[in-house]
Structure 1
Amino acid sequence: MKSWIKLMSDYKSYLRIERGLSENSVANYLLDVQRLVDYLSEKQADVSPITISDEVIQDFIYRLAGELSPRSRARIISGLKSFFNYLVFEDYRKGSPMELIEVPKIGRKLPDTLSVEEIDSLIKAIDLSTNEGERNRAMLETLYGCGLRVSELVSLKISDLYFEEGFIKITGKGNKQRFVPAGPSARKYIDLYRNTIRSGITVQKGHEDTLFLNRRGRGLTRAMVFTIIKGLAVKSGLHKIISPHTFRHSFATHLLENGADLRSIQLMLGHESITTTEIYMHLDRKFLTEVLQSFHPRK
């Protein structure tokens, strides 16, 4: 498996440097390839990335069909296509063994959302008698008020706050930067956390500019934010499976329901393509009827 290790290392550098992907995205791409490597090891198949055939790949895909959902299989197939296309591009192979592999058809999964009342109940469930509670309220207000990804939240820096102008600077996927409006609630609770809680924490070296800190003075992990939100869901009696991304979905949906245009939402979310933003058009029929009656010339 030595050649797999070498070429996966080269592929990792390509994803990071030439494609500019985030560490999370790079890790996911490599995990897709590692699944294939683990399968080959289990089968004791002595094939390299250069010599692996269409038939071996097809057998692997058949195995996945019995273990994973169509969506998960589609994700892995997409990752493998990217890897072998890279090998072709770098002249390691003349053709990709993925060319005849079809991606399973999957329905477009609509994002889960929370109502304004549900978001309020989650925030009310926070224990504000603790330092962590003030921080958590500021984080949730920022997730919902600015539509951030969890990775963007935990990497947010004090130097990214441009509150006099009403914006925060976000570094998103592929290190692409955008400015997002920060509403009054987000600004209020971030400032409250900074001035009353964060200022009293002994900050560890390398985290001086990190906005949200744990009790040891270091930046939070994505997993910690997931845990905080799931705990609040249980405490507030919310019977939904939610994550930090749910607040991002709710941010976009509520803007759209209240009349914001897709292009503006696209810019705030940092979507490269408007088609990604269009998934938020899963609004109820009543809203769409109101739009038609309000704007169509033949009312």
Structure 2
Amino acid sequence: MNWEIYIQHFKNFLRLERSMSENSIEAYIHDVEKLSQFSEISQHQPTPESISERDIMDFLEYLGEFGISATSQARILSGIKSFYKYLAIENLIQIDPTQLIESPKIGRKLPDTLSFPEIESMLDMIDLSTPEGTRNRAILEVLYSCGMRVSELIELKMTNCYFDIGFVRVVGKGQKVRLIPIGRDAIKYTKIYLESIRNHQDVNPESEDIVFLNRRGKQLSRVMIFLIIKALAERAGIQKNISPHTFRHSFATHLIEGGADLRAVQEMLGHESITTTEIYTHLDRVFLQETMASYHPRESSKNHYHRKQN
């Protein structure tokens, strides 16, 4: 049987045999779906009954690459362990591949991630009455909406912003080009900045197509973005070690913990996994947009992320 059938049977088991709440069932199913998505993009594409302990370990390592904390990895592993216990009870597997796997060590150092309220508190610290504040609000909205690298942000071009269809085109590592969905708030504040601030600047000829500029009409530096974010974090009373990359990790973590498809998040990040070296097929742009609309905390009308956290 394939993953979908096994997962459906597991869902019925949790509902009928364990009498679990729908929210708890949804959380368990999301955990197993993450593993099934990982299996589909791995090189040998294991089935539920053929997956090995090594595959599970690779999966946890893969989650770590996204900045998923050890605590969250342990919770996901708990759901997967329950799935394999069910398969063993039903005699669908002979060996439980999760039996000897310990939960990830909580002390393992991973990049700091901002919670959604912390991101909102930083946004609230921005003075929108100043030109720099208007620009900085747009910068933070874009970083969090798109999960960009700081190098991609400072090199973002106006001719690569397709706001009418909700995408931006970025050039990532190795000059690899990708399209990323951009959220409504990011579009809104970037348009305000472009129309009310940037349009009235004297722009350096070398930066004519660059979206975000400094006071002298030149492209911003990586260091400047770092200083803007550090200052806002301090004003918001956030004690974590914050950098532009923190927004990239937060983007990925919030989407994945909310239940988003791993392949879609990887596609949006322009992220090549060190666990799976296969070259991935580009996902349909509509699917990426739907992922953003359904699972990003700034976009989701269904509020998946907050429901998972409660």
Residue 262 of structure 1 contacts residue 274 of structure 1 at CA under 8 Å; is this kept in 2?
no
Alignment RMSD: 2.2
Q: Which has the larger radius of gyration?
A: 1
| Structure 2 unaligned regions, length at least 5 | 1-106, 277-303
Find the residue that maps to 1:228 and give its secondary structure. helix
- Please report how far the alpha carbon of residue 165 of structure 1 lies from its aligned counterpart in structure 2 after TM superposition: 1.5
Deviations along 1:202-257, whole A, 9 cap, x unmatched? Answer: 10111100000001000000000000111111111111110000000000000011
Identity value in percent: 60
Question: 1:217 aligns to what?
Answer: 217
Q: Which residues in structure 2 correspond to 1:90-169 (within 5 Å)?
A: 109-169=109-169
- Counterpart Cα distance in 2 of 1:111 and 1:254: 14
Deviation at 1:108? 6.5
Aligned to 2:247: 247
1:122-141 C-alpha deviation (Å, 9 max, x unpaired): 01111212100000000000
Shift of 1:273: 2.2
Distance in 2 separating the partners of 1:253 and 1:194:
30
CA distance in 2: counterparts of 1:148 and 1:205, whole angstroms:
25
Count residues in correspondence.
174
Partner of 2:23: none
- Any stretches of 5+ residues in structure 1 without a counterpart? 1-106, 277-286, 292-299
How do 1:1-299 residues align onto structure 2 when only pairs under 5 Å count? 109-273=109-273, 275=275
1:269-290 CA-to-partner distances (Å, cap 9, x unmatched) read: 00122748xxxxxxxxxx9xx9
Alignment-mate amino acid for residue 138 of structure 2: A
TM-score by length of 1: 0.56
CA contact (8 A) 1:263 1:274 kept: no
SS of the equivalent of 2:216 reads coil
Matched-pair contact (CA < 8 Å) for 1:149–1:248: yes
Counterpart code for 1:171: V
More RCO (CA 8 Å, sep 6+)? 2
> 1:160/1:238 Cα in 2 relative to 1: closer, same or farther (>3 Å)?
same
TM norm structure 2: 0.54
Q: Tell me the distance in 1 between the aligned counterparts of 2:224 and 2:150.
A: 10
Q: Deviation above 3 Å: which 4+ runs of structure 1?
A: none
CA contact (8 A) 1:171 1:178 kept: yes
SS state at 2:205 partner: coil
